[in-house]
Amino acid sequence: MTRYRVFAFVALIVGFLLTYFVWATQANPESAYQFKLGLDLAGGTELVYKADMSQTPAAEQSDALAALQGVIERRVNLFGVAEPLVQTERASALSGITEDRLIVDLPGVTDIKAAVAALGQTPILEFKLATTTNMGTTTATTYIATGLTGRYLSSAALQFGTGATAGLAAPTVVLNFNSDGAALFEKITAANVGHVLAIFLDGQPISTPVIQQAIPGGQASITGNFTATQARDLVRNLNFGALPVPITLENSSAVGPTLGAAAISAGVFAGIVGFIIVALFMISWYRLPGFVAAVALVEYLAFMLSVIKVIPVTLTASGIAGLIISVGMAVDANVLIFERTKEELREGKGAREAVHIGFSRAWPAIRDGHLTMIISGIILYWLGTSIVQGFALVFVLGVLASFISAVSLSRIFLLAIVPEHKEGIWKFLMGSGGHNA
Amino acid sequence: MYIIRHRPLFFWITGLLLAGALGAILVWGLPLGIDFTGGSLMQVQYASNVPPLATIEKQVSVVPLGVVSVRTAGTGQISIRSRTMTPGEHSAVLAAISQNASTTELAYTSVGPALGSQFTNKALWAIFAVMLVIVLYIAFAFRKVSRPVPSWGYGLTVVAMLLIDIIVPTGFFAAYCHFTGAEVDSLFVVALLALLGYCVNDVIVIFDRVREHLAKNEKTGLKESFEDTIGKSINETMRRSINTALTVALALLALIYLGAPATQNFALVMLVGVVAGTFSSICRSAPLLIPIAKWFAKK
């Protein structure tokens, strides 16, 4: 018993510290461990783009996707949003057709049009070789992608050189490639001297120079028909990054800050009231064990919330649903144990012995129930879309925690208090419903 | 023993519930929200009185969107549904309804048609995969009890139960949508998934008791009819099934009455599912093993 009392004392201290951690990190707005709220709760905009990889060789797709993410991240930072999140997603699990997506979360932004416009200014830069075919009297020009795109660009600069218009300095955009891009550029120009290497911006040829000789050093210049302002904008946009692949907007959603805040306060209030009702029910029906279970549940919740804060798990409405269900499972594990204990008490066993046997009898059902739920949760996380994953992640964590807390916490607490025999007040305390033990 | 003796009655109740639920789904259908079909949904709050819906529809019609549905949603709020809007169309609609009134957009969601159908596929696959794994796990966990029902029989029974446990709340929601104009959204799918987890656990607890009694009888050499074993198991676990359902139902009621509007439908579906699921685990899951056992005895 002394051993269990030491354990119980330690568990109480840990529980207290965890509760304090959850409370203190929430009370301090500067804390790094504030709850991370999903856009549905915090308010903000989510944009889902589809990346068109049809022109990109399979081997380079993941690189291109990473480059795309980098470019959009720079763009988003330019937009001035606190804690933006840019993610990429490869969806291929079931349909067999891979689809690459780019998910942009902008907390606090509710003007979708402005957000889309700010991201949409990112130019797509491509270099294509022109081949001319004679078709009777007319000639048709087709452009073939060279693989040299904006992702190989390291910087762009504006220069004024002497151009076609006499007396006026023609604005020239100078492109500097990175080392890979420079090598590729040199290779392409060396192999195609005399051909036209067209420079495409957002799908339009803006400059069609003829290759005079192989160009080493990784520098190209565009002298198109643009004004100084257009050239300056182009340079700025290119410097923030050119898109390696074209993207199209598939989904967009925005949640206003009032709706999100109302959802949180209502959710927290409902959670607290729900928890108090459940605790009161447990205590009135199961008496002492019910009280112990309520304490164990508080610890369980403090632990879960700490884990959610530390990992951190982004909380969404579906994640909170997962949390509620896992609390239900944690309650159930306790109910199972107490019902078994009650049966043993009815057969005339001593209080402590009944608790011991009750736990071991309830164990197979708890194990099988929890394991099937954990396996189901993992499958859901693996197969599901983001909203299902939000549920599955919290659910799996919660069921795991319930697994541990039900068989350790309630047990340690009960064994730390319950005496060997049921006498006097213990007959009442260990009873349940309308019966004493 | 009551439940076992009146087994046919409970099978009939099940049949009626199932028929009612399927009827509701077939007759009224499940109105799929934009998460499944693609489209745009705007939620707008009016500062003062909401103009008549016809007026709003007329204001919106300047933007060529095709069929647009405008509904009231809560006090001073409306929702506008249409095909997937472009960002430009979205701000045009906002501007159109804000001509003579001060409005704030509470939420806006736009789902491309392709993503919508993908979500449906993924959700169905996920439910199917979860069920398959449950059969396998239960067949494994009950491998030591092979008489009078083989261990995979327990797994199949659980899955049959789960199908009913999912169909009943779905049928309820079809009726609910029909009368309130609610729509099936992705949280509904989450509710079904959560119910799967809850009901599996519920049935396993009862089957675990059957397993325990069968093992004990074998050890002590006690001859007991399978029906008696099952009746005993149900009686012994009933208190626990009801108490657990009660606590979960209490938490869900708190969520329905006090929680955020976004999770109210979720909690309602869960509540119906938990009540129906508890009834089904107590009155149907284990009794269903008896006809299966008889069938195997004949073979």
Burial of B187 (0-12, 13-18, 19+ CB in 10 A): buried
Q: In degrees rounded to 5, what are phi and psi of residue A92?
A: -150, -5
Q: Are residues B160 and B195 in the same domain?
A: yes
Q: In Å, what is the CA distance from A24 to each residue of A31, A295, A306?
A: 9, 20, 11
Q: Are residues B28 and B127 in the same domain?
A: yes
Whole-number percent of chain A with pLDDT over 90: 3
User: Letter for the amino acid at A176?
Assistant: N
Q: Tell if the CB–CB gap between B201 and A270 is shorter than 8 Å.
A: no
Q: Tell if the CB–CB gap between B126 and A380 is shorter than 8 Å.
A: yes
Chain B residues close to A277, C-beta within 8 Å: 250-251, 254
- Tell me the average confidence (pLDDT) per consecutive run of 10 residues in chain A, 437 residues long: 86 91 87 82 83 75 77 74 76 61 82 75 75 68 78 77 55 81 84 81 73 78 72 72 75 77 79 87 87 88 90 82 79 86 86 88 86 85 76 88 80 85 75 70
> Does the beta carbon of A332 lie under 8 angstroms from any beta carbon of chain B?
yes
**Encoding tokens for residue B162?**
């789960």
Per-residue confidence (pLDDT) for residue B176, from 0 to 100: 92
User: What domain count does chain B have?
Assistant: 2
Q: In Å, what is the CA distance from A37 to each residue of A34, A161, A354?
A: 9, 52, 44
**Encoding tokens for residue A103?**
């998910």
**Encoding tokens for residue B45?**
């709050």
Q: Sorting pLDDT into bands at 50, 70 and 90, what band is B189?
A: confident
Per-residue confidence (pLDDT) for residue A334, from 0 to 100: 87
Q: Are residues B69 and B208 in the same domain?
A: no
On the question of pLDDT at B19 being above 90, the answer is: yes
Q: Are residues B162 and B250 in the same domain?
A: yes
Q: Tell if the CB–CB gap between A372 and B138 is shorter than 8 Å.
A: yes
Q: Are residues B135 and B265 in the same domain?
A: yes
By Cβ distance, the residue of A50, A336, A368 closest to B240 is A336
Q: Are residues B161 and B273 in the same domain?
A: yes
Model pLDDT for residues B87-121, shown as the tens digit of each residue:
778 888 888 888 877 888 888 888 877 666 777 77
The residue ranges of DSSP E strands in B7-57, in sequence order, are: 39-46
Right CATH number for A2-38+256-429 from 3.30.9.10, 3.40.50.300, 3.40.50.12780, 1.20.1640.10?
Answer: 1.20.1640.10
> Does the beta carbon of A408 lie under 8 angstroms from any beta carbon of chain B?
no
**3-class DSSP state of A134:** strand
Q: Are residues B184 and B103 in the same domain?
A: no
The CATH number of residue B75's host domain is 3.30.70.3400
Residue by residue, DSSP assigns A47-114 as EEEEE--TTS-GGGHHHHHHHHHHHHHHHHHHHT-SS-EEEEEEE-TTTSS-EEEEEEEEET---HHH
Chain A residues close to B191, C-beta within 8 Å: 321
Q: How far apart are CA B191 and CA B94, in angstroms?
A: 32
Tell me what the mean pLDDT of segment B110-138 comes to: 79
Alpha carbon dihedral B219, B220, B224, B226, in 10-degree steps, equals -20
Q: Are residues B146 and B256 in the same domain?
A: yes
Q: Are residues B143 and B265 in the same domain?
A: yes
On the question of pLDDT at B157 being above 70, the answer is: yes
**3-class DSSP state of B118:** helix
By Cβ distance, the residue of B109, B122, B259 closest to A385 is B122
**3-class DSSP state of B51:** coil
Q: How far apart are CA A349 and CA A369, in angstroms?
A: 27
Q: Are residues B96 and B178 in the same domain?
A: no
**β A36-37/A314-315 pair status:** parallel
Model pLDDT for residues A136-180, shown as the tens digit of each residue:
666 677 787 777 877 777 777 777 765 544 445 677 778 888 888
Domain segments of chain A as ranges: 2-38+256-429, 44-122+248-253, 125-239
Q: How far apart are CA A301 and CA A19, in angstroms?
A: 9
Chain A residues close to B111, C-beta within 8 Å: 250-251, 253
Residue by residue, DSSP assigns B57-106 as HHHHTTS--SS-EEEE-STTEEEEEESPPPHHHHHHHHHHHTSSS-EEEE
Cis peptide before A244 (omega within 30 of 0): no
> Does the beta carbon of A434 lie under 8 angstroms from any beta carbon of chain B?
no
The CATH number of residue B9's host domain is 1.20.1640.10
Chain A residues close to B76, C-beta within 8 Å: none
Q: Are residues B78 and B90 in the same domain?
A: yes
Question: Do residues A248 and A50 lie in contact, with contact meaning Cβ atoms separated by under 8 Å?
Answer: yes
Say whether domain A125-239 belongs to CATH 3.30.1360.200: yes
Best of B247, B268, B281 to disrupt the A interface (most A CBs within 10 Å) is: B247
Residue whose token pair is 């729900």: A274
Q: Which residues contact B228 (CB under 8 A, 6 or more apart)?
A: B1
How many CB atoms within 10 Å of residue A239? 14
Q: How far apart are CA B53 and CA B44, in angstroms?
A: 13
The last residue of one of the domains, among B111, B132, B160, is B111
Q: Sorting pLDDT into bands at 50, 70 and 90, what band is B171?
A: very high
On the question of pLDDT at B22 being above 90, the answer is: yes
Q: Which domain holds residue B261?
A: 2-34+115-298
**3-class DSSP state of A138:** strand
Per-residue confidence (pLDDT) for residue A166, from 0 to 100: 46
Residue by residue, DSSP assigns A162-221 as E-SSTTSEEEEEEEEE-HHHHHHHHHHHHHTTTSEEEEEETTEEEE-PBP-S---SSEEE
| HSE-CB for A326 with a 13 A CA cutoff | 30
Q: How far apart are CA B265 and CA A369, in angstroms?
A: 26
Its pTM stands at 0.76
Model pLDDT for residues A105-137, shown as the tens digit of each residue:
888 777 777 777 777 666 677 788 877 766 666
Q: How far apart are CA B13 and CA B276, in angstroms?
A: 11
**Encoding tokens for residue A211?**
């290759």
Q: Are residues B7 and B69 in the same domain?
A: no
Q: Which of residues 189-228 of A touch B (CB under 8 A)?
A: none
Q: Do domains A44-122+248-253 and A125-239 have the same CATH topology?
A: no
Q: How far apart are CA A116 and CA A34, in angstroms?
A: 29
The CATH class given to the A44-122+248-253 domain equals: alpha beta
Chain A residues close to B259, C-beta within 8 Å: 266-267, 269-270
Q: Which of A384, A413, A316, A169 is nearest to B260 (CA)?
A: A316
